[in-house]
A and B are shown apart, each in its own frame.
Chain A
Amino acid sequence: MASSKAQAGQTLWAKMPKANAELFALTYGSLVTELVRDYEDPIEVNAQLERIGHSIGVRCVDELLSKADSSNLGSAVTQCGNLRDTAEVVSKVGFRMFLGIQAEVGGYSQDQRSFSIYLQENPLSTFVELPTIGDEQSSSSPSGGLDDLRKLKYSNLYCGVIRGALEMVNLKVECTIVRDTLKGDELNEIRVELKEVLSDGAGDDYKEE
């Protein structure tokens, strides 16, 4: 079952027109740089990155579903029976088809309402280095500014993308980046938690933005 999704992801990825990953990374970098310059507060930058991701997510889910459909990959991709299926599609098909990377899924909670996506490589963070962690004291200095940047969740875009994409299929989720290679962890981990399964036509309650 799981391997069929990986297969589907590979098929879709092979068909996608490609772009240079460095141009992609540098373009994302210039967006983040601009946000950091405009908002200054890293917490606010994280929120903005999430918002931007959300706007990408609501659109890229359409691309995924329609391309899976037109490639005759069938219901394995387009119809999910439970959150496990959804998690597999997000990681094995979604990440694969758009970014060409291997994403693993695991860490299901007891109640099956949350899971983690593990990324060994992160195309967003090529060439990126964040200020190092270590001197916690200096972060309390009133100046804040640059050394506050270690609160920045550089790849927070992913959280928004996943939230936006799943929202379009009536799953209200919350995502957080719990591990980040930029912060010295050995891999990237995105925690996804299901909050609510929306009923059809519940589109209105996402007007908060």
Chain B
Amino acid sequence: MSRSSTNILDRPLGRPGGRAEGSVVSLSAFAYIYSELVQYHQQRAASISELERRLESAGYVVGLKVLEMIAYRAKETKRETRLMSILHFVSSSVWKSLFGKAADSLERSIDHADEYMIIDYEPIASTFVSVPPDLGQLSADAYVSGIVAGVLDGAGFSARVTAHSVQVEEGEYTKQGGNSIPGIPPRKDKAVFLVKFSPEVLSRDAALER
């Protein structure tokens, strides 16, 4: 336990903080902190879109760090350069390391070639959130969309990422025993993270295709 004397840069990154127990805290603890983060920004935001933008920028810096962390921990030193592989990286590696599971699906928009959707049926950030009617379109997962944007931007794929809560259609997603978190009912909304890549990212990817 000579952690205090060791410089933070000398500590191993593999096992975060040297914590023995698989490095988890309770979901409640996360929810309390996240709730305070949202409240804090809500006090300072004049509109729903400003609140979302503030949450996104809070997530953005987290995303940059997460990318670095995952990249350092990965055994192979490789860097994703292709559009599809970075999207897979986000929806599997990033999701697994942050939320303990892969994203439920990754889809390409039919209408727009530059748009992709990452879908999560049980988004962690909005687990205990119920959006009041006067906040209407607010998605409490805006923070996560910020993280995604941070990861993508850090990897050289600048993109605009927005979070949307979309009602789950009947029979679309069924899981035995309802919610995977015991004690709360199945979720009515899924989170759709819409990723819209910048034109230069697409043209670069097209150039790599050849």
Chain A residues with a Cβ under 8 A of chain B: 13, 16-31, 33-35, 38, 52, 55-56, 59-60, 63, 97-100, 120-121, 123, 126-129, 181, 184-187
Query: For the complex, what is the distance from the CA of A128 to the CA of B9, rounded to whole Å?
Result: 10
- A34 and B36 contact, CB distance less than 8 A: no
Asked if A17 meets B27 with Cβ closer than 8 Å, knowing A28-B33, A121-B17, A126-B17, the reply is yes
In the bound complex, residues from chain A placing their C-beta under 8 Å from that of B65 are: 26, 127
- What are 25 contact pairs spanning A and B, CB under 8 A? A18-B26, A19-B100, A20-B98, A21-B25, A22-B23, A24-B30, A26-B62, A28-B33, A30-B62, A31-B33, A31-B37, A31-B58, A34-B40, A34-B41, A35-B40, A60-B32, A98-B29, A99-B25, A100-B24, A100-B25, A121-B19, A126-B16, A129-B7, A185-B4, A186-B1
A99 touches B36 (CB 8 A): no
Q: Are A100 and B33 in contact, CB atoms less than 8 angstroms apart?
A: no
Q: Is the CB of A19 within 8 A of B29?
A: yes
B21 on interface, CB distance cutoff 8 Å: yes
CA distance A27 to B30 in the complex (A): 8
B66 interface hit (Cβ, 8 Å): yes
Residue ID in chain B nearest A60 by CB atoms: B32
Most buried by A among B21, B25, B40: B25
Assembly CA distance A52 to B40 (angstroms): 9
Q: Is the CB of B40 within 8 A of A23?
A: no
B112 on interface, CB distance cutoff 8 Å:
no
B154 → chain A closest CB, angstroms: 14
Q: Which residues on A sit within 8 Å (CB–CB) of B40?
A: 31, 34-35, 52
Write out the residue numbers on chain A whose beta carbons fall within 8 Å of the beta carbon of B135. Answer: none
Beta-carbon contact of A17 and B182 below 8 Å: yes
Q: Are B62 and A27 in contact (CB under 8 A)?
A: yes
Q: Are A24 and B33 in contact (CB under 8 A)?
A: yes
How far is A184 from B5 in the complex, measured between Cα atoms in Å?
7
B17 proximity list for chain A (CB < 8 A)? 21, 121, 123, 126-127
Known: A120-B1, A184-B4. A27 touches B23 (CB 8 A): no
Q: How far is the CA of A2 from the CA of B33 in the complex (A)?
A: 29
Residues of B near A187 (CB, < 8 A) are 4
CB of B129 within 8 Å of the partner chain = no
Which residues of the partner chain A approach B37 to less than 8 Å between Cβ atoms? 27, 30-31, 34
Contact partners of B182 in chain A: CB under 8 A? 17
Q: Report A34 CB to chain B, min CB distance, Å.
A: 6
CB distance from B33 to the nearest CB of A (A): 5
Q: Does the CB pair B61–A24 fall under 8 Å? A: no
- Inter-subunit contact A24/B62 (CB<8 Å): no
- Which residue of the partner chain, among B27, B32, B41, contacts A56 with CB atoms under 8 Å? B32
> What residues of chain A lie closer than 8 Å to B59, measured between beta carbons?
30
Is A19 in contact with B16, judged by CB distance below 8 angstroms? no
Report the minimum CB–CB distance from B73 to chain A (whole Å): 11
